[in-house]
Structures are given as C-alpha cells and as structure tokens.
Structure 1
Amino acid sequence: MKKKFDVIIVGMGPSGLVLCGLLNNYGVKVGIFEKNKSTVTEPRAVSIDDESLRILQSFSLHQAVLRNVSQNYGSHYYDAKGRLFLKVEPNSRENGFFKRNAFDQPTFERTLWKHLEKQKNVNINFSHTLVSIKNEINRVTASFVDSKGLKKSFQAKYLVGCDGGQSTVRGLIGAIMKGSSFNQNWLVVDVDKTCNFFRHTQVYCSPKRSSITLPGPHGIRRYEFKLKDGESSEKLGEDFIRKLLVSVGKDGKAKIRRSQVYQFHALISSEWKKKSVAIAGDAAHLSPPFAGQGMNSGIRDVGNLGWKLALAIKKPKSKDILETYFLERKEHCWALINLAIRMGQIMVPKNRFSSFFIVSFFRLIKINKTLLNYVSQMKYRPKPKIGRGIIYFHGKNTRNDKKLIGTLFPQPLVENIKGKESYLDDVLGNKFSLVFYIKNIDAYISFEKWLNKLSKTCKVVVLLHQSCMIFPSRYEVIRDSNNLLENSNPRVPENSVVLIRPDKLVSAIYTKNNLHYLADLLNNDEIFSF
C-alpha cells in the first residue's frame, strides 16, 4: 500500500467522493479513507440540484449519476385541510440541469466509488479509522487503525476531512461548531415500491402534524413527520409508523427501507482550514433539511476547494490561494442555512393563526405575476456569490458587471462549426478560461489582436449569440443554441471578455477599452496557467 499521497481524504460520503473525483481529474494522487466497510447502504440525502450536477460534469460523471435520478420535480404545499395553496415547479436550466432532482444516496455513492476504483491516481481504503493527525505547514501525517487493530501512518501535502457531522478531523484541528439546534424531533421513513406516483414533493403544513413526502427514482419514496412531545423513538413501533404513512397517502403497506428519528441543526465550524488540513461538507456545516441543500452545500465546498488544492500542489508558490476557501464559501453556506430555517417556518406553523397567515400570504401573491414567478421558479434560492477572494475589479465595471462577477457563469447548450451540440463547460475544460461573448463577426475582428495575446495564458472560447452564424477561427467558436445568455440575470454583456475560474465562477469582466488590465493580470500571476 502506498504511504505517500498528494492529498488524503477522510470520509467516503458525497463530499469526499466528489473531491476525490475532482482531484483525480487534475492528476493529483489521492488516498481516500473510510472507517466503515463500504459506502452507505441506507438512505440519507434525497435531493441533488443543478449546481451539484454541474460539479459532477467537471469530471464527466454526471451522465452515470443521472441514470439513477428522477429529474425536475417541484413542491406542492397543502394547508391544514389538505387544500393546495402553492406550487413550486422550477423549469429553468441556467446551469445546464434542472434545479431539483431526486436521487438515492447509496446508489450515488456506489456510482462514484466504482468510478474511482478504476483510477490509477486513487487509493481507496475502507475499514480505516482516523486516530491522530500531525499537522505541519507543508505536510500532514495521518494515523489510522484498520479492521485488524493495526496502526498505519500515511503522509500527504494536504488532508481534507469529509467525515460528517461528528467529524474527527474537525476535533483534531480544534475547530468547534457554532450556531443553533432545534428542539424538534422528526421521523424519517424511506419506503420501496411506493404506491404514490405523484412526481412532486408534497408538503402538508398543518399545526397538528407537519409532514413531507418526497419522490425518488425506481419506486422509492421518503416520508418525514414532525413528532409531538412524548413521541420518543422507543415508542415508534411499526404500527405507529404505518398509521402515519396512511395519513398522507397510499403507502401504508409499503416495504420500509429505513426509519430514523432526527433532530436538526444550523451550525458552521469556526475554522475550515488550519495549516495543511481542511474540512468540507457536514464536517464544516450542518443545515436543517427543509431546503434540500445539506449535501449540495458540501459538494459546493469541494467544488471550490478541489481546483485550489490541485493548483497548490502543482504550483506550490500559489498555495496561499487555499486561504480563500473559507472566505468564499462561508457567506453562501449561511445563506442556504437561513433559507432552510425560513422554509421550515412555512412548513411547520405553530398554531392555526400562523397557518392561516402563511396560507393567505401565498394565495395573495398569485395576484402579482412577478412575485409568483419569484416563488414558483425558486428564484429565492441564494445563488453562489463571492464578494472577496479570486475575483478582480478594475474600477470601470458597470453595475451589471459587479452583479455578475463572483457568480456562476450560465451554462448554455452550444453548437460548434461542425453542428455538434454540447454544454459550455465541456468546451471550457477544468482550468481558467476566457469567454468572448459577441453578436457579430465585426466585434471579433476588432478584438482579434487582443485575443492572440491573451490566448498565450488561458484558453480562449468565442461564444456567439444565437442570432450569429458560426465562422472559422483559430479559436474554438461556438453558438448559444438555446439563447440562455440573452435571458440570463444578471445579463452577460455583449462584446465582453469574461475570465472564468475552473469552478465556473466569473472572476472578472473586460471590454475592449480595458483589456490591458486583463493582460497585466494574466502575465503577473501564475495561477492562470496551471
């Protein structure tokens, strides 16, 4: 067994497995360790969103995952009398995927695991329990105990703890969780061969007992019930569980895969990185489940961290880039936790008065099409937006530019000169890139000399408006097939050069009048050529 790696990952849940896939894609040597005998065999998370799928796309695993995903489901909300008062059915695909999708975590983890075990740069180790870390500035030594009780030590340049809410790694670096926990018990029941074939989530907002039922792929379904005082886990026999299932549908006789009582938390770790050790996923934060963002936030963590680790390994002089990880992720992570708390307040009214107020409010917003669209299309979900970190302002940015910088660049379906269609990220690759967005060939001609200079550092892609015919060029020229950029918000300005990071966040925007700032930036920092 290898004793040295570039990166050690502790934990083979979604965050750890996705981080391993990202690092392998950069040629980084990874040792990944899990205390259990395999990946999970029981249901956990059930929702995967468009941003997580886009991260999986960056190492070409999205198609394999999508084979076991029920795509594009929404949520229907019902009042205490079972009357529908709100539909949330988002249909936009600004990231190339639907916003809400149902999956089975055991199948998801197994798909990732089977992919990784074929990779020569990945060393997989089950039944290894972490016991200690020697954390130094340029290296880390991790000691594990295997299933036979033998102690083994491994070295790496970096270690990342993706080892869950009870993270050993978090404790070993002295970080603590800050936030609040909720004095609510919820019973989660997962069933096989459901008789409820409704393709959307059903949310019953009743002060007597709130409950949720969520669809899944291949005939599975999840139910969640808020428990009352005195309904402890010891008293929840099968008869009680089946009565709850009958109260919200037709699955009273369905095979129960798992039933579990949970309490929910809204917590973030005080530190996410110390010397050569970082944490991600549930090790770094815990969220109530009402927004379906717990696992997705963890995948966003490693989407931010993965390329920075690869850069720090390949270009050690740029290792300080890792200090931007917590800086860039913390605000968005808190925003999603707060969203989950607010959604929980809607789903769990305290009494008949609050229930009446909530239902009346959402019925009133149907009068205003703008407000209704905001809610029904899930525009309330906070988008990733960084205000500090690896982003650049040159003093002449417009208000729209400032809104776009630090956000995810839209991912349209694009067509190349041969008529082949693909998604934009597949063209850009997994390093820094420059997207030149134009409506006509005249703009291209006026920028061509600048593009020749800039292409020495970064890949240049010419992205045409849907109305423009594709023309030959020394650069890759593609056309926005579904006109996504024209309708994006904030809008991508025409005749602009957009610097896009490996994680597809907009790092900077330039026009012809200030491209000299971009040239200076690319020439003076090695991170753009890794």
Structure 2
Amino acid sequence: MLEENQHNTDSDVTDVLIVGAGPVGLTLANTLGLAGVGVLVIEKLDRIIDYPRAIGIDDESLRTIQAAGLAGQVQAHITPDHWMRFYTASGQCFASIEPRTDEFGWSRRNAFIQPQVDAILYEGLKRFPKVRVLLGQELQQFAQTDSGVSAEVMGADGRQRSLRAKYMVACDGGNSFVRRSLDVGFEGRTKPNQWIVVDVRNDPLGTPHIGMHCDPERPYVSAALPHGIRRFEFMVMPGETEEELSKPENLAQLMRKVVADPDKVDYIRKRVYTHNARLADRFRVDRILLAGDAAHIMPVWQGQGYNSGMRDASNLAWKLAMVVKGQAGEALLDSYEKERRSHARSMIHLSEVAGDIFAPESHVAAKVRDTVMLALNAVPPVKQYFAEMRFKPMPRYEQGVVLHQSATNNQGARAPFEGLLDRSGNTPLSRLLGLMAEKKDSLLGRLVHGLEAPQPSPVGRMFIQPPVLTSQGQTLRLDDLIGLSFAIIAWGTDPCHGMDDAALAFWQGIGARFIRVMPTGQMAHPSPVRESVLTVGDAQGRIKDWFGAQTKSIVFVRPDRFVAALASPQEVSSVTHQLARVLHAPLPSAKSAARSLQLEALA
C-alpha cells in the first residue's frame, strides 16, 4: 500500500529526504516542518510500527517534542517520575534511581508506550503543507552530487519512483541500508545472552515504577507503564529458545516468578531480543547524514537508545533548516557529528555498565556487587548520587557551535564524592572506593571513576527551562516563548544594548529572540528596552540562580537549547561575530545592516 498522508502532489523534489518513519525520522520531520523546510519521509512498511518497543522517555526528549509543538498531546501518555530500583536475589533494594529534578522543564525519568507517541508524531506532520510521508516505499538505491541526492524507491506493487532532495537523513534503523551502502563502519559488541519481553494488559501487579531484579538464577525486569500496561523481561538462559519459552507451560513457569496466577494474565505480545552496542564511524557523508539507530545502537538498561536518537533529531534539525534556507553554509553540518558522536559513545558505555551490574557473568560477581552496592547505599552522598541520576553523562559539546573561550572561568563545585575516593583515607569504604577508582575497567570502577571532576562551564551544555511570567500574567515554560530560534537571554538588562548594527541585523535576520529576565516584582515597573525585546519574570528564581553561578550576564542559547556562548553586555557584538563564523553564516555589511534596522524602525 502506498499512503501519502497529506497534500497530494506530483512533485517528488524536496529539501530533505528522510528514510524511515520511526520516532527519530518523525521528530526530525516535525521540527523541519515547523521551520518551513520541505520534507519527504519514506518508510518501507505500509504503516508505522504499532507494537511496543521503548518504554522510557527522558526530560531531554520531552523537551524536543515540546519544540515540535506536540508535548501537550504526548503528556497524556506518560507517567512522570518513573523510578528504577535494583533488588538482590533476596529482594533487598541495593540502589534506587529516583530523580526528582525538572531543570529542563520535565521530570527526568518517565514511562511511556512508544507507539502512542509515534502516532502523535505521525499525525503531527499533517500540520505542514511542505511535509509528506510515503508509506510502503523501500529505498532501492541512491546517489549524491555536489548539488543534491537522488533516490529510487519501490512500492509493494513493484512500481518504482524517483526522488530528489538537497539532503538525505538515514533514520532506517540498526540494519540501515543507507549506512551499509555508504560502507560506513559500525563497530561494537553483541551480548551473548538474549531476553524475552512479555507485555501484558490489565496490570496484574499494579505497583508503580521499575524493578530490576538481579537474581543470578534468572534476572528479570518488571516495569509499570501507562494505561494499565506492564512489561516483564526475563533473561534467556543458555540452551533456551524463543519457541520453547513461548509455549504456554514454559511462559507460565516464567510468569510464576512475578504473578500469583499466570493463567489469568492478559498477554499483548512476546518477543525475544539481543542487546547490541554499536557506533557508526561517521555520522555524515557529504549530503547524507545518519541518525538514531542507523548511527548508534545500545543496550536497553538505561533507556537511552530512543532518547539518544531524539537528541540526534534535536541537534540536526535546526542546522539542516539553516543550511537549506541559506542562513548558514553546509559546513555547519560537520558540527552534527562532532557534537553527537562522542556523547552517543558515552551513553553506550553507560548502558553497558548498567547491564553488567544488573546481570553479571557469575554468581561470585553478583555476590560482590550486592555487598559493595549495599555498602555504598548506606552512605548518604553516594545514595543521593545514584538517586538523582548524576551518573548519567549529560551532553557537553567541546567542539561545534560553541565558544568556550567566551565562557566564565568557573572552576565549579566538586562532586558529592569529594574525599570518598581519596586513596589515602583510613575508612574501609574510602579504601574500597579508592581501589575501585584505580581499576577503571572493573564492573563498578567504570561507574564511579571520575566522580570528583569539577562541574564544567555551562557552554556546550543544555540551558535550563524554568517557568517564566509573561507581561500578560501567564506562566509558561521558557521554550514556549522562544520557539525554534536562537535566544539571547540577559539577566536584568537589554540583551541588545551595546550590539553593533551588523550583530543586531544578523540575529534579526535569522529570527533570534531577545529576552530580558527580571524578578517578577519588577515586572510592574520595567525599564525601557528595544521593542523587539521580550521581558519575562523569573517565576521561581531559577534563572537568577543560574546567572548567579556565572561571571557573565548574557547567554546565547541555540535552537536545541544548548548554550553556545556567554558574554558580558560589552562583549555581545564580538561574541556574535565569533558565533557567525562557527555557524558558517555571513554577517551583513554595515550598510545593509543599517538599512535593515531602519526598515525595522519604520515598521
């Protein structure tokens, strides 16, 4: 079946061709659609996948969906503050991940059912006249030149179709045809054991959160999901097969570990899968880019496969939009790999470590894990470290569209393990932690090594998203005021003050938002600013606290909400000129800038 979900047209020429209608391709298409970019999505299946896959969505992904304008609909299908608890074989909890922070505007860990969110992303594309989806179309071959990409696709009826685009993004999964055709390496490892996933309706347990039961005889997972769905995952032991485990009597034996009466369970599906950890050698080959599972796949233990793909979409969308619209040179796309590949590697590493802790290779290793983790859990700073999920490596871009030289020289605070890893300590715990730190490649050493590192500069890291008060008295999330734009945000002052004509015209030319933040009490008597500057109140004092930790009072925030640079009011022009260079974007001449500003004043 060929389905064109909206806006029938005979044209198969577009700005961006996306291969694959999974969550990454759909998110990318929605974000590009909001930016006014022409998009064609092709999918070899005749419908988007409707069986459950990912079950964990984090705050960064929800922020990405918010940027695509669909967060309100998605919110109806998530369970916020979804905690993860690890249990020994005897049922004793040795670690509990309970993050309660919402610095990015959403709870850090959330449960969801992927097909429900995918359907919202798919339907969201109907908003855009320049976005089309062709289902039941399999990519057969493609080629690229200096000016674009051409592709041949075939429908289920055998009919061929020729497509052309300026750029192509491969979101076609771990077995990506595009990546293999480009001969891009995909190195990594596959865990020898498999897992059987069992999804059920009418939750037979009804308890919230996720339980990671580290039973060395057969580790298993029990996860509560929205709408009364529960997922169980059991390790497939050596010699077992999917066919054997799926037999009613054997499945009942598995389920007897977790429910009182296996015969009364309302099954949705059963599926066996293998854990892979792979990373593509390259994320860009000229006009073709890889995203999501086509660029990296990782074990499920921290729920980062889905979320890493969403980070790809968020990072790539605004860059593609700027390049396609002529606002930046195509060299900007090089920053996609520079920024995303190293963090994807870190998330693969975290997922592998979590899997090794959950299911070690021997009973002896499991006993050591239980003993050490229970000891660590008794230390308040360590317990807090795990509970708040501080071990998760947040993206921090060292290269790309960032200006570290403009950042504050803050040394940052030491992490909560200060002193605990001191190998000269006299307590048994400090000696144990010191030994673990020395053995970086050990099971637990990989997890705790480096926890004393100073907090880095905010440049290259995601900016916070607290609620703000508008001049109309509304309380909104900050991103909802910015939209898919750069933002120049200042504490208490006009961020445009001191900008030369070229810098001001540059930001206006690419649709940047200028935002002044002040205490809510001052909103009644604000000092004058340029008409284009939006003044908001700091509803909870979080933005003041953020700026209070810096030595600069103006922050340049990218469309994906990462901090590109910091500046003092007297540095805004020079920082703008530097950012224009790393964006490969031309600054207007002094004459054209002055003319542009005159026209703005007349308008």
> Which residue, out of 507, 514, 519, partners 2:571?
514
Report the CA distance shift for 1:311/1:417 in structure 2 as closer, same or farther (over 3 A): same
SS where residue 290 of structure 1 aligns? coil
Provide the C-alpha distance between the structure 1 equivalents of 2:551 and 2:519, rounded to a whole number of angstroms. 9
In structure 2, give the amino acid aligned to 1:398: N
Give the structure 2 partner of residue 287 of structure 1.
298
- 1:330 aligns to 2:341 (yes or no): yes
Provide the C-alpha distance between the structure 1 equivalents of 2:524 and 2:240, rounded to a whole number of angstroms. 65
In structure 2, give the amino acid aligned to 1:140: V
- 1:244 aligns to 2:302 (yes or no): no
The answer (yes or no) to whether the contact 1:413–1:424 under 8 Å persists in 2 is yes
- 1:103 aligns to 2:112 (yes or no): yes
Kindly state the Cα deviation for residue 319 of structure 1 after the two structures are TM-superposed: 1.1
Give the structure 2 partner of residue 47 of structure 1.
56
> Which residue, out of 226, 229, 250, partners 1:217?
226
Give the structure 2 partner of residue 346 of structure 1.
357
User: Residues 56-455 of structure 1 correspond to what in structure 2 (within 5 A)?
Assistant: 56-236=65-245, 237-250=247-260, 252=262, 253-315=264-326, 318-394=329-405, 397-399=408-410, 403-438=457-492, 444=493, 449-450=497-498, 455=504
Kindly state the Cα deviation for residue 496 of structure 1 after the two structures are TM-superposed: 1.0
Kindly state the Cα deviation for residue 47 of structure 1 after the two structures are TM-superposed: 1.0
The answer (yes or no) to whether the contact 1:191–1:255 under 8 Å persists in 2 is yes
> Which residue, out of 557, 564, 585, partners 1:500?
557
The answer (yes or no) to whether the contact 1:164–1:282 under 8 Å persists in 2 is yes
In structure 2, give the amino acid aligned to 1:422: L
Give the structure 1 partner of residue 427 of structure 2.
none
Q: CA RMSD in A?
A: 2.3
Report the CA distance shift for 1:499/1:400 in structure 2 as closer, same or farther (over 3 A): farther
Report the CA distance shift for 1:514/1:251 in structure 2 as closer, same or farther (over 3 A): farther
Provide the C-alpha distance between the structure 2 equivalents of 1:448 and 1:316, rounded to a whole number of angstroms. 21
Report the CA distance shift for 1:355/1:468 in structure 2 as closer, same or farther (over 3 A): farther
Provide the C-alpha distance between the structure 1 equivalents of 2:124 and 2:261, rounded to a whole number of angstroms. 35
Report the CA distance shift for 1:435/1:201 in structure 2 as closer, same or farther (over 3 A): same
Provide the C-alpha distance between the structure 2 equivalents of 1:251 and 1:378, rounded to a whole number of angstroms. 35
Aligned length, in residue pairs: 523
Give the structure 2 partner of residue 483 of structure 1.
541
Kindly state the Cα deviation for residue 316 of structure 1 after the two structures are TM-superposed: 6.7
User: Which deviations, in whole Å up to 9, do the C-alpha atoms of 1:71-113 show, x marking residues without a partner?
Assistant: 2210121101122222211110011001111111111111111
Kindly state the Cα deviation for residue 266 of structure 1 after the two structures are TM-superposed: 0.8
The answer (yes or no) to whether the contact 1:12–1:34 under 8 Å persists in 2 is yes
The answer (yes or no) to whether the contact 1:437–1:493 under 8 Å persists in 2 is no
Provide the C-alpha distance between the structure 2 equivalents of 1:174 and 1:6, rounded to a whole number of angstroms. 24
Kindly state the Cα deviation for residue 529 of structure 1 after the two structures are TM-superposed: 8.4
Provide the C-alpha distance between the structure 1 equivalents of 2:406 and 2:57, rounded to a whole number of angstroms. 38
SS where residue 193 of structure 2 aligns? coil
Kindly state the Cα deviation for residue 519 of structure 1 after the two structures are TM-superposed: 4.4
SS where residue 252 of structure 2 aligns? helix
Gaps of 5+ in 1: 439-443
Kindly state the Cα deviation for residue 121 of structure 1 after the two structures are TM-superposed: 1.2
Kindly state the Cα deviation for residue 246 of structure 1 after the two structures are TM-superposed: 2.3
Kindly state the Cα deviation for residue 416 of structure 1 after the two structures are TM-superposed: 1.6
The answer (yes or no) to whether the contact 2:467–2:475 under 8 Å persists in 1 is yes
In structure 1, give the amino acid aligned to 2:250: F
Higher relative contact order (CA closer than 8 Å, sequence separation 6+): 1
User: Which deviations, in whole Å up to 9, do the C-alpha atoms of 1:195-235 show, x marking residues without a partner?
Assistant: 22111101101111111111111011111111110111121
Kindly state the Cα deviation for residue 184 of structure 1 after the two structures are TM-superposed: 1.1
The answer (yes or no) to whether the contact 1:19–1:303 under 8 Å persists in 2 is yes
Q: Which sits farther off after the overlay, 347-356 or 403-412?
A: 347-356
Q: Using structure 2 for the length normalisation, give the TM-score.
A: 0.82
The answer (yes or no) to whether the contact 2:408–2:550 under 8 Å persists in 1 is no
SS where residue 31 of structure 1 aligns? strand
Report the CA distance shift for 1:371/1:528 in structure 2 as closer, same or farther (over 3 A): farther
Q: Which sits farther off after the overlay, 180-189 or 510-519?
A: 510-519
In structure 1, give the amino acid aligned to 2:84: S
User: Which deviations, in whole Å up to 9, do the C-alpha atoms of 1:416-455 show, x marking residues without a partner?
Assistant: 22221101111122121101124xxxxx27x773268655
User: Which deviations, in whole Å up to 9, do the C-alpha atoms of 1:355-384 show, x marking residues without a partner?
Assistant: 232222232233432221110011111111
User: Which deviations, in whole Å up to 9, do the C-alpha atoms of 1:104-131 show, x marking residues without a partner?
Assistant: 1111111111111342111111100100
SS where residue 247 of structure 1 aligns? coil
Kindly state the Cα deviation for residue 243 of structure 1 after the two structures are TM-superposed: 2.1
Give the structure 1 partner of residue 24 of structure 2.
15
Q: Using structure 1 for the length normalisation, give the TM-score.
A: 0.93
In structure 2, give the amino acid aligned to 1:203: M
SS where residue 24 of structure 1 aligns? helix
Report the CA distance shift for 1:344/1:329 in structure 2 as closer, same or farther (over 3 A): same
Among the aligned pairs, what percent are the same residue? 29
SS where residue 258 of structure 1 aligns? strand
Q: Which sits farther off after the overlay, 387-396 or 113-122?
A: 387-396
Look at both structures and tell me which one has the larger radius of gyration over its CA atoms.
2
Provide the C-alpha distance between the structure 2 equivalents of 1:28 and 1:189, rounded to a whole number of angstroms. 40
The answer (yes or no) to whether the contact 2:406–2:565 under 8 Å persists in 1 is no
In structure 2, give the amino acid aligned to 1:23: L
Kindly state the Cα deviation for residue 325 of structure 1 after the two structures are TM-superposed: 0.8
Provide the C-alpha distance between the structure 2 equivalents of 1:322 and 1:139, rounded to a whole number of angstroms. 14
Provide the C-alpha distance between the structure 2 equivalents of 1:33 and 1:75, rounded to a whole number of angstroms. 36
In structure 2, give the amino acid aligned to 1:243: Q
Provide the C-alpha distance between the structure 1 equivalents of 2:84 and 2:350, rounded to a whole number of angstroms. 16
Kindly state the Cα deviation for residue 153 of structure 1 after the two structures are TM-superposed: 0.6
Kindly state the Cα deviation for residue 292 of structure 1 after the two structures are TM-superposed: 0.5
Kindly state the Cα deviation for residue 15 of structure 1 after the two structures are TM-superposed: 0.4
The answer (yes or no) to whether the contact 2:403–2:579 under 8 Å persists in 1 is no
Provide the C-alpha distance between the structure 2 equivalents of 1:352 and 1:132, rounded to a whole number of angstroms. 50
Report the CA distance shift for 1:103/1:528 in structure 2 as closer, same or farther (over 3 A): farther
